[in-house]
Homo-oligomer: A and B are copies of this chain.
Amino acid sequence: MTDDDALDNYNNDWLNQYKGTSKLALRPGNTKDVATILKYCNEKKLAVTPQGGNTGLVGGSVPLFDEVIVSLSRMNKVLDFDEVSGIVVCEAGCVLQDLDNWLADRGHMVPLDLGAKGSCHIGGNVATNAGGLRYLRYGSLHGSVLGMETVLPSGEVLDSMSRLRKDNTGYDVKQLFIGSEGTLGAITKLAISVPRRPLSVNTMFLALKDFDAVCQTYSEARRQLAEVLSAVEFADRPSLDILFSEFPDIHREPFQDKYPFHMLIEVSGSDMNHDREKMDTFLEHCMMEGLIQDGVVAQDTQQSLALWALREDITMALAQAGHVYKYDFSLPLDHFYTIVEEMRERLSKVSIETHTVGYGHVGDSNVHLNICTPGKRGVTPEVMDVIEPFVYDFVRDHAGSISAEHGLGQMKPDKIFHTKSHTSVDIMKQIKTVFDPNGIMNPYKHVSYHTELAKEVS
């Protein structure tokens, strides 16, 4: 594909924050064709950007210059399913929601769910080690990805396609590809351990007076809801204010009064009565103890979706409101919200109007700190200088991660030293060279950014 219009989708990310100038996007239909492409590019030292659904938030799947785009979108078949053990084998280009629907018909689910599920690919999810909404329950892809087929730049196929839960024979090389953002090779097939789909799902939306109450409520949820707890999400007042003002026809205040903090807690299990009973006991306890100020419980799937949308639509509301400075941090709960407060305080002194909001996956200590400048204004140095490097220093000083689930991409590869040592990055660079000695895979991003080889290419 070389037509400029047709290439636009491949050269841009979905939020139009990153833009490349690639002249060539290839859509191979099988592993052999991926191998032929990579081998050719490797011999000619042509840079390559593997691409999934292109829904990342750090520009990892978007070329910077004239990289050859290798889209996995045609490789979208489910290949096998072991219903007794719950193991699915599929190609990397399966759209997450399609794969989940396919499994739903068979009583199972992908152990991963995120806002972009209608477009993102399972291969891209693995390449970026996506976290998402139910990480708390189903854990990391490092645990649930059982097997992987990848094509190396040499054109060799690295077949780690185990369909087994356990396999201790040598180093677990495939783990390196989970979160490698296309810098080591192209993921072509996956075997994933998939859980039974819960028969009962209950969602509640809670109002809280301070962040301490959020932490206590989370702790109580882990204790009382234990094995049926499937999500613990969080949004502050300013997040919801923007949501209600941007989407007044769709969303409105769920409570009579306004509260500074909100949580969405989801419970899912195999028995509706048991789950409801646990939830009622939990809610009663939290009310009695004064942990929560108010709460609504979804009575059906429709209401549950509406409550989830209060959390999930914040991202879109912010994007509609203006330019968004997006940050995705892991921070211990002690400092999970102080970064939002300190940022807001700092920005109160600049001349431009800013809205500093915090939301995210409190159950995973993963905060999305977003700063929105209303209107059509893009990045302004006055705002940026107040945000960076302050936020990265804050995260380093409080033993956090500068990228919890979004990755480094082209947005922040140069920030890696804030939370990783030189020893660690040096090992990463050597590993990169083992897989990709010519540095053709997704250069200028992630660990590729730190290899000299990558800089010589293209």
The 13 sampled A-B contact pairs (Cβ below 8 Å) are A131-B168, A135-B166, A162-B399, A164-B332, A164-B365, A165-B364, A166-B364, A171-B176, A171-B180, A199-B226, A225-B270, A226-B270, A227-B270
Contacts of A171 in B (CB 8 A): 176, 179-180, 184, 428, 431-432, 447
- Kindly state whether residue A218 has any CB partner on chain B within 8 Å: yes
Interface size band for A: 35 or more
Q: Interface of A with B (CB < 8 Å)?
A: 82-86, 107, 128-129, 131, 135, 139-140, 142-144, 152, 156-160, 162-173, 175-176, 178-180, 184, 193, 196, 198-199, 215, 218-219, 222-228, 268-271, 274, 277-278, 330-333, 361, 364-366, 399-408, 416, 419-421, 423-425, 427-428, 430-432, 434-435, 446-447
Are A179 and B173 also in contact (CB < 8 A) when A84-B333, A366-B166 are?
no
Are A271 and B270 also in contact (CB < 8 A) when A198-B226, A218-B84, A223-B107 are?
no
Q: Which residue of B lies closest to A167 (CB)?
A: B401
* Whole-angstrom CA separation of A178 from B158 in the bound complex: 20
Are A173 and B431 also in contact (CB < 8 A) when A196-B222, A274-B271 are?
yes
Are A425 and B170 also in contact (CB < 8 A) when A84-B333, A85-B333, A228-B227 are?
yes
> Once the chains bind, are A434 and B430 in contact (CB under 8 Å)?
yes
> Once the chains bind, are B270 and A224 in contact (CB under 8 Å)?
yes
State the copy count for this chain.
2
* Closest A-B pairs by Cβ, 8 of them: A143-B143, A175-B175, A226-B270, A164-B330, A167-B401, A166-B404, A274-B274, A142-B142
Contacts of A399 in B (CB 8 A): 162-164
> Once the chains bind, are B434 and A169 in contact (CB under 8 Å)?
no
* Whole-angstrom CA separation of A408 from B167 in the bound complex: 10
Contacts of A180 in B (CB 8 A): 171
Are A270 and B278 also in contact (CB < 8 A) when A330-B167, A364-B165, A427-B434 are?
yes
* Whole-angstrom CA separation of A402 from B447 in the bound complex: 34
* Whole-angstrom CA separation of A216 from B159 in the bound complex: 31
Contacts of A143 in B (CB 8 A): 139-140, 142-144
* Whole-angstrom CA separation of A277 from B272 in the bound complex: 13
Shortest distance in angstroms between A368's beta carbon and chain B's nearest beta carbon?
12
Contact of A158 among B366, B427, B434 (CB under 8 A): B427
Q: Which residue of B lies closest to A178 (CB)?
A: B172
Q: Which residue of B lies closest to A107 (CB)?
A: B223
> Once the chains bind, are A166 and B131 in contact (CB under 8 Å)?
yes
